Structure 1
Amino acid sequence: MTAEAGLAALWLAAALAALQLVTAAIGLARKRADVVAAVRPIAIVQGGAVALALALLIALFLASDMSVKLVVENSHSAKPWLYKFAGAWGNHEGSMLLWVAILGLAGGAVAVLERRLAEPTLIATLGAQAAIALGFYAFLLFSSNPFARVDPAPADGMGLNPLLQDPGLAFHPPTLYIGYVGISVAFSFAVGALITRDVGPAFARAMRPWVLGAWIFLTLGITAGSYWAYYELGWGGWWFWDPVENASLMPWLAATALLHSVTVLATRDGLRAWTVMLAVVAFSMSMLGTFLVRSGILTSVHAFAVDPERGAFILALLAIYIGGALALFAARIGTVRAGTTFELVSREGALVLNNLLLTVILGIVLIGTLYPIVAASMGVQLSIGAPFFDKAAGPIALALVAAMAVGPLLRWRRDDAGALISRSTWPIAAAAFTAAGLVVFASIGLLPFAGIALAAGLAVASVVPLWGRNLRRTPLFTYGMVVSHLGIAVSLAGIAASSAFTTETLVAAQPGVAVRAGPFSVVLDGIKPVIGENWSGLEARLTATRGDETIVLRPQSRFFADPPTSTNESAIETEWDGQLYTVLGQPDAQGRWQLRLWWKPFVTLIWLGGALIALGGLLALVGRVRRENRAVARAVWA
């Protein structure tokens, strides 16, 4: 009965979403206060109903209920409990239920927490959120039912893709989905403000925490996914420009631009049209990512669906939502006032430049991702890989870093170019000193060279806003900006250093013979069989020596029976200045074993920087919410 209860909860949530949409529309059109008052409670109950449906699906996976088709196709009774739990969304139907559950809970949270918006705008926002949810409920109920039964029930399931059997599955998809859904809330705010002609600072202040929250989770999700792919796939890379990786990067780029734009609108009453348009673009990228992953047009470890009808359903939803939003934007943009003006040399001007550069990078990634798909539909097979993205987006990204370093040094509304140069002395000096050191001590490519030098300049520029201030009285959101920009500098340094200085050794190793890998001498001691909870395999014992330091690494080659799959499990040693990355290959006829060894200088800075970026976002979110709550409290007691 658990599956039937889950399906009933899903139907109830869908019915409540329809009721929420209709109630919001009637309440706004007829100005019925009694009808409007019902919208918030409906949104809250809807979120509870869909959360219950997800909880029941997870219960089915934990119980290994093989009478449910989804459990049969994506689980096995011998799997560890963590992968049964996370396996509930490690598939097409379950991941879509997770998506819509977070969407429903977010709508309920808006209904509970939001008290700053004018009532009509809030009701229009909840109506827009219900409309988004309704389409995905229809998709689940009519095209991708996660609670479908199978009769007769098999003795056991087919298992979960071994590449997904990792703790990353419990963290990476939920964080990304929370980010996607946070963008949907920002989109709903924008639609609500357009409907009620209420695009202004109050709308932006209400939307900003949701944009910040979405951006934080997208940052964490992308960072975690990058490290998961890095250690799990055994290819030694941290970013592969996989179309589905790009599908998560594109909403992040748009959300980053939106975050800066909504801040200008909230604090300086500028960039009104920019803010609304970026909310539409960010959600468009989120929907496009959903389509790419679940349409069946891509072959990827990320991509679950292979049914073209499902892809057509999602494509129709994308056309309805984005087409409708763009039509509403076109119809109402004439009613949006320009807001406060500013000079070209100003912080607002720098933020506009940042947004333009982010948009250009977004366009490059979008074209590079979609062009092979469009070409394949016309019978032409081609591949666009890392060289294209690096050469096309790399220089623009470096220009963006330079603009990011300058922006916080500018004053609002108007500034003087000469004064800006004076404030930029230390960042310029840091970049120049680093560049000189690279010229003397290293011979590397132009992009890594520029990346390391700009990272040094940005690191110094990011802390300049704190100079001469009372640090105890500095707002928390200012620290958030500093930490996030510092995180970008740290990540950029890691990206540039690892790409410039990484060394790879591919060798047929004999036991007892030393192999050089960067600063390490690596010896294969031997190979032994190992058995895990639901796999068997071979494990190498490697002794790596660096000066007086000796470490042991144990890379593995694993075989999973359900489904039959072979994987490589890398063994990684992390040092302060980089990582030794080892992968075990196959034996040859002479009894030697293939080993792939990488020395990756400062590669860990990539993920450290990602964590700092998210931490900065969290500090900014807490600081903004705390300041606005104090303002509300003062207004109440005045």
Structure 2
Amino acid sequence: MIIKMIPEIGHFALVVALLMAAIQGVVPLAGAATRRPLWMAYGQPMATGQFLFVAIAYACLTASYMLDDFTVANVANNSNSLLPWYYKLSAVWGNHEGSVLLWSMMLAGWGYAATRFTGSLPRDMVARVMGIMGLVSVGFLLFILVTSNPFERLLLNTPQDGADLNPLLQDFGLVIHPPMLYMGYVGFSVVFAFAIAALLGGRLDAAWTRWARPWTNVAWAFLTVGIALGSWWAYYELGWGGWWFWDPVENASLLPWLTGTALIHSLAVTEKRGSFKSWTVLLAISTFSLSLMGTFLVRSGVLTSVHAFANDPSRGFFILMLLAITVTLSLLVFAFRAPRVSQKVGFSWLSRDSLLLINNILLVIMTVTVLLGTVYPLILDSLGLGKISVGPPYFNTLFVPLTVVMCIFMGVGPTARWKRMSFDVVVKQLWLAGAAALVIGIVAPLIYGGSWDLWVSLGLVSALWIVLPMVRDVFAKTRHAGSLGSGLRKLSLAYWGMVLGHLGIAVTIVGVTMVSNYNIERNVRMAPGDTVEVAGYQFTMQQLSSRRGPNFLADTAELQVRRGDDGRSFQMNPEKRLYLATGMPMSQVALRPGLFRDLYVAMGEDLDDGSWAMRIQYKPFVRWLWLGALLMAAGGVLAVADKRYRRVRAKEAARPAAARTATEAHS
């Protein structure tokens, strides 16, 4: 009996979560406004309860999938009795309703985390943060219950079996990609809440930035890994060998990443120098708003993409209204409160302050560039002014030069001083690194490719210009220590986080440069016994075989691969699968990964004469794309572990209650 009622339990849990989110969103904010400690205290238990009940709802939906309860429309439309159990778990969020429920659970989870790690903050600040996060949760829980209920029943027309999960999504990448991406999207809600709470309380000082920076870094790290996983999934699952196609849904995740990167640097300036206060708040609002806009693009039905969940217009309208309300109210608060707490702090044109400001401006310009290319065609189409297509040429033409210019300032920034420094000092510090970057960047294409290439040299010089000044800076900071080891240990974790983050950018640039310019691809016809040579590797098809998977039939090619005449060989086994429930064919790519190159084989169509169309590619340095992303994410996490944040928490926790009360009364 209880098993049959699992969907109803889940639906009831969502209703309770909505009520608790409403209390969390209203009572603490009212308490902070009227200085009532009891009302302010409601935020933390309500956030905990909301997370508990949303998690119960998510567990109920997961149980419905695992039990093959096809009376639930969501399960019937996205699962199948033959689907392996691990794909049933990922199928929970492989659809519109389940993905929004996952989003809401993570939003509640971030709210719960905020209750655990903000206990030593001023009571009114915590109340405002909890209240703002509660209001955001109300919007998404209403969206689920009104337009996207995952527990709707099919009691009158229950199918014997489900329609199955889209074969494109039956992959390990889907198991980890959406949760990572959503953790990044939703994580910026905490930073957004801190920014609005600081505005409402008139506390745009260094204290709020110290508390917001760790949340920003963690959310940014999750988003970085999520984007990298999406790129990796597209690379090996879609069968075309690309890693980024400027798809509108890909762009939707890049937009908050760009402004989030700018926000990380702006928070550093605000904490260290007390400048960029209004700019920092505006970036926090923009980053979360762009996260919401990504949700609108993916779930409104305005896009047709392998990543998108096309749905009825009512859902898109609801999210659009949620986005409009969030942006409008946030900007109104900013407009009324920011001028009262702004403060001018001077710095010269040549200083770390100005370099970070220039980089922030470049990141915002890049964001606007991507936003226009993504949204402008949609606006024209919605107004009935025709359909246009904005593809890679537009984005590459604008994005690549902006990236090169940004790299120039990135190379100077870490070694620059705050407030002001002389041009002669900059030249003295960096001329050797600049000369080395130029020489290596110009010579490397001649050695690797046999001829000089402007774009390869430009990419390598940009990457080296980021890395070599940092190497020089590390040496300068440790040369007076007793030993290299002790000198390195004296550098803060925040500094090493910066080094890793910038190193990750450089590694990614090298990967993009090399794979874009030296990729080799051949589309060939192959039958058993045929041999094809690509980039010095001989691919020989030895045989074709058939096998049955848990929910598919597959034709498998066995390829023997040999490099030159050195005698070493290995096998690669690409497949062409036919999924039984949907009748949908899929290519299962064979990969031979390596640090400096990938071999990539995708099986195409049966040509009816015993041969198959095959796509064989040699992809140099492609792994560096994702290695760079991992280094960036590791840098973000490492910065969070810096001891100064632990000291701040300990200092706040040790403050007498009377001092905290006085601070709250003053605010």
Scaled by the length of structure 2, the TM-score of the pair is 0.93
Matches for 1:51-200 after TM superposition, within 5 Å? 51-152=55-156, 153-200=158-205
**Are residues 135 and 158 of structure 1, via their aligned partners in 2, closer, same or farther at CA, if it must alter by over 3 Å?**
same
Q: Structure 2 stretches of 5 or more lacking a match?
A: 479-486, 657-667
**Are residues 444 and 239 of structure 1, via their aligned partners in 2, closer, same or farther at CA, if it must alter by over 3 Å?**
farther
2:402 pairs, out of 396, 400, 413, with 396
SS in 2 for 1:594: strand
Question: What is the aligned partner in structure 2 of residue 242 from structure 1?
Answer: 247
Question: What is the aligned partner in structure 1 of residue 539 from structure 2?
Answer: 522
Indicate conservation of the 8 Å contact 1:254/1:281, yes or no: yes
Indicate conservation of the 8 Å contact 2:120/2:649, yes or no: no
CA distance in 2, matches of 1:248, 1:450: 27
2:428 pairs, out of 422, 428, 445, with 422
Q: Which amino acid aligns with 2:161?
A: D
Indicate conservation of the 8 Å contact 1:484/1:614, yes or no: yes
CA distance in 1, matches of 2:641, 2:169: 34
Indicate conservation of the 8 Å contact 1:459/1:490, yes or no: no
* Shift in Å, 1:439: 5.9
Indicate conservation of the 8 Å contact 2:466/2:502, yes or no: yes
1:588 pairs, out of 604, 607, 610, with 607
2:561 pairs, out of 533, 544, 551, with 544
CA RMSD of aligned residues (A): 1.8
Q: Structure 1 stretches of 5 or more lacking a match?
A: none
* Shift in Å, 1:628: 3.3
Indicate conservation of the 8 Å contact 2:129/2:197, yes or no: yes
Question: What is the aligned partner in structure 1 of residue 596 from structure 2?
Answer: 577
Q: What per-residue deviation string (whole Å, max 9, x for no partner) do you get for residues 401-441 of structure 1? A: 12111110101111111111221134312311223304644
Q: Which amino acid aligns with 2:46?
A: I
The reply to whether residue 446 of structure 1 matches residue 454 of structure 2 is yes
**Are residues 439 and 32 of structure 1, via their aligned partners in 2, closer, same or farther at CA, if it must alter by over 3 Å?**
closer
Question: What is the aligned partner in structure 1 of residue 665 from structure 2?
Answer: none
SS in 1 for 2:499: helix
* Shift in Å, 1:589: 4.4
**Are residues 507 and 113 of structure 1, via their aligned partners in 2, closer, same or farther at CA, if it must alter by over 3 Å?**
same
CA distance in 2, matches of 1:72, 1:2: 15
The reply to whether residue 43 of structure 1 matches residue 43 of structure 2 is no
Q: What per-residue deviation string (whole Å, max 9, x for no partner) do you get for residues 179-219 of structure 1? A: 01111111111111111111111111111111011100000
Q: What per-residue deviation string (whole Å, max 9, x for no partner) do you get for residues 267-292 of structure 1? A: 22221011100001101110110000
Question: What is the aligned partner in structure 2 of residue 32 from structure 1?
Answer: 36
**Are residues 115 and 421 of structure 1, via their aligned partners in 2, closer, same or farther at CA, if it must alter by over 3 Å?**
farther
CA distance in 2, matches of 1:264, 1:289: 28
CA distance in 1, matches of 2:120, 2:360: 27
**Are residues 576 and 196 of structure 1, via their aligned partners in 2, closer, same or farther at CA, if it must alter by over 3 Å?**
closer
Question: What is the aligned partner in structure 2 of residue 625 from structure 1?
Answer: 645
**Are residues 633 and 107 of structure 1, via their aligned partners in 2, closer, same or farther at CA, if it must alter by over 3 Å?**
closer
1:266 pairs, out of 246, 265, 271, with 271
* Shift in Å, 1:302: 1.5
Matches for 1:204-353 after TM superposition, within 5 Å? 204-353=209-358
CA distance in 1, matches of 2:228, 2:56: 29
* Shift in Å, 1:461: 2.4
Question: What is the aligned partner in structure 1 of residue 372 from structure 2?
Answer: 367
Question: What is the aligned partner in structure 2 of residue 355 from structure 1?
Answer: 360
Indicate conservation of the 8 Å contact 1:272/1:339, yes or no: no
SS in 1 for 2:246: coil
Q: Which amino acid aligns with 2:30?
A: I
**Are residues 104 and 522 of structure 1, via their aligned partners in 2, closer, same or farther at CA, if it must alter by over 3 Å?**
same
The reply to whether residue 380 of structure 1 matches residue 386 of structure 2 is yes
Instruction: State which drifts further: 453-462 or 236-245.
Output: 453-462
CA distance in 1, matches of 2:297, 2:491: 43
CA distance in 2, matches of 1:29, 1:484: 40
Question: What is the aligned partner in structure 1 of residue 660 from structure 2?
Answer: none
SS in 1 for 2:584: strand
CA distance in 2, matches of 1:110, 1:633: 15
**Are residues 439 and 8 of structure 1, via their aligned partners in 2, closer, same or farther at CA, if it must alter by over 3 Å?**
closer
**Are residues 20 and 576 of structure 1, via their aligned partners in 2, closer, same or farther at CA, if it must alter by over 3 Å?**
closer
* Shift in Å, 1:630: 5.5
Question: What is the aligned partner in structure 2 of residue 490 from structure 1?
Answer: 507
Question: What is the aligned partner in structure 2 of residue 561 from structure 1?
Answer: 580
Q: Which amino acid aligns with 1:562?
A: A
Indicate conservation of the 8 Å contact 1:160/1:562, yes or no: no
2:21 pairs, out of 14, 17, 21, with 17
* Shift in Å, 1:49: 1.4
Question: What is the aligned partner in structure 1 of residue 630 from structure 2?
Answer: 611
The reply to whether residue 473 of structure 1 matches residue 490 of structure 2 is yes
* Shift in Å, 1:464: 2.9
**Are residues 170 and 485 of structure 1, via their aligned partners in 2, closer, same or farther at CA, if it must alter by over 3 Å?**
same
CA distance in 2, matches of 1:572, 1:332: 55
CA distance in 2, matches of 1:226, 1:545: 29
Q: What per-residue deviation string (whole Å, max 9, x for no partner) do you get for residues 435-493 of structure 1? A: 33046444465333311221122222233331132111111111111111111111100
CA distance in 2, matches of 1:42, 1:484: 36
Indicate conservation of the 8 Å contact 1:394/1:447, yes or no: no
Q: Which amino acid aligns with 2:375?
A: L
Indicate conservation of the 8 Å contact 1:117/1:202, yes or no: no
Instruction: State which drifts further: 374-383 or 326-335.
Output: 374-383
SS in 2 for 1:471: helix
CA distance in 2, matches of 1:269, 1:635: 23
Indicate conservation of the 8 Å contact 1:204/1:266, yes or no: yes
1:413 pairs, out of 413, 419, 431, with 419
Q: What per-residue deviation string (whole Å, max 9, x for no partner) do you get for residues 35-61 of structure 1? A: 112222112211211122112211211
SS in 2 for 1:562: coil
* Shift in Å, 1:631: 4.8
CA distance in 2, matches of 1:559, 1:166: 15
Indicate conservation of the 8 Å contact 2:442/2:452, yes or no: no
Aligned length: 638
SS in 1 for 2:92: helix
* Shift in Å, 1:126: 1.2
CA distance in 1, matches of 2:463, 2:373: 26
Q: Which amino acid aligns with 1:615?
A: A
Percent identical pairs in the alignment equals: 41
Indicate conservation of the 8 Å contact 1:44/1:112, yes or no: no
Indicate conservation of the 8 Å contact 1:463/1:482, yes or no: no
CA distance in 1, matches of 2:363, 2:35: 41
Question: What is the aligned partner in structure 1 of residue 481 from structure 2?
Answer: none
Q: What per-residue deviation string (whole Å, max 9, x for no partner) do you get for residues 505-535 of structure 1? A: 1111232232111121111112111211111
The reply to whether residue 3 of structure 1 matches residue 7 of structure 2 is yes
Q: Which amino acid aligns with 1:553?
A: M
Q: What per-residue deviation string (whole Å, max 9, x for no partner) do you get for residues 588-607 of structure 1? A: 24432211111111111111
SS in 1 for 2:640: helix
Instruction: State which drifts further: 590-599 or 530-539.
Output: 590-599
CA distance in 2, matches of 1:480, 1:628: 19
Instruction: State which drifts further: 376-385 or 432-441.
Output: 432-441
**Are residues 589 and 17 of structure 1, via their aligned partners in 2, closer, same or farther at CA, if it must alter by over 3 Å?**
closer
